[in-house]
């Protein structure tokens, strides 16, 4: 089995990282996004992920958040990014998922990046072996 997280290899792996708060303005409106957690889960067999999901949440609201799938190769060489069109909204639960996704043979890590108002906040990766 081919996905590993901080806790070791297994049919599925879940990892969580913290993200820091953000303050920004859009026009004349000010936004404050408190710190929270980014959780990334992946499962499958071979190089196929039956499911991959990401959730960003805090105890309040996430505004202008975006979750991107990222793949890295040997030496963390950047291979690809799949961004979601910015939802330009405020939500209490920012989530993204995909299923039956096959990682290319040169992919060593599958990651998710969190951006808030187009500013990078956090990345969580799982090894793909």
- Alpha-carbon span 69 to 79, nearest angstrom: 11
Q: Considering only residues 44-63, where is the footprint of another protein by CB under 8 A?
A: 44, 50-51, 53, 55, 57, 60-61, 63
Euclidean distance between the first and the last CA atom of the chain, given in angstroms as a whole number? 8
Of 1, 9, 104, 129, the one binding another protein by CB under 8 A? 104
Q: How many CA atoms lie within 13 A of 31 on its CB side?
A: 20
Q: How many CB atoms lie within 10 A of CB 58?
A: 17
Task: From residue 54, give the alpha-carbon distance in Å to each of 12, 24, 25, 70, 123.
Answer: 14, 24, 26, 12, 11
77 binds another protein (CB under 8 A): yes
Of 4, 17, 47, 90, the one binding another protein by CB under 8 A? 90
Nearest 5 degrees, angle CA 39-CA 13-CA 118? 30
Of 21, 23, 48, 80, the one binding another protein by CB under 8 A? 80
Of 47, 79, 108, 123, the one binding another protein by CB under 8 A? 79
Of 1, 9, 88, 129, the one binding another protein by CB under 8 A? 88
**Chain residues that interact with another protein, rule: CB under 8 A:** 12, 26-27, 29, 31-32, 41, 43-44, 50-51, 53, 55, 57, 60-61, 63-64, 66, 77-93, 95, 97, 99, 104, 106, 118
């Amino acid at each position: 089995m081919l996905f590993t997280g901080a806790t070791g290899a297994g049919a599925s792996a879940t990892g969580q990282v913290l993200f820091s708060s953000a303050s920004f303005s859009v026009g004349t409106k000010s936004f404050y996004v408190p710190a929270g957690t980014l959780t990334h889960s992946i499962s499958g067999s071979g190089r196929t992920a039956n499911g991959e999901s990401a959730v960003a949440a805090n105890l309040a609201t996430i505004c202008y958040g975006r979750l991107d799938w990222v793949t890295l190769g040997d030496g963390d060489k950047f291979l690809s990014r799949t961004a979601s069109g910015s939802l330009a909204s405020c939500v209490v639960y920012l989530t993204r998922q995909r299923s039956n996704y096959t990682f290319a043979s040169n992919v060593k890590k599958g990651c998710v990046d969190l951006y808030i108002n187009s500013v990078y906040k956090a990345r969580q990766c799982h090894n793909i072996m």
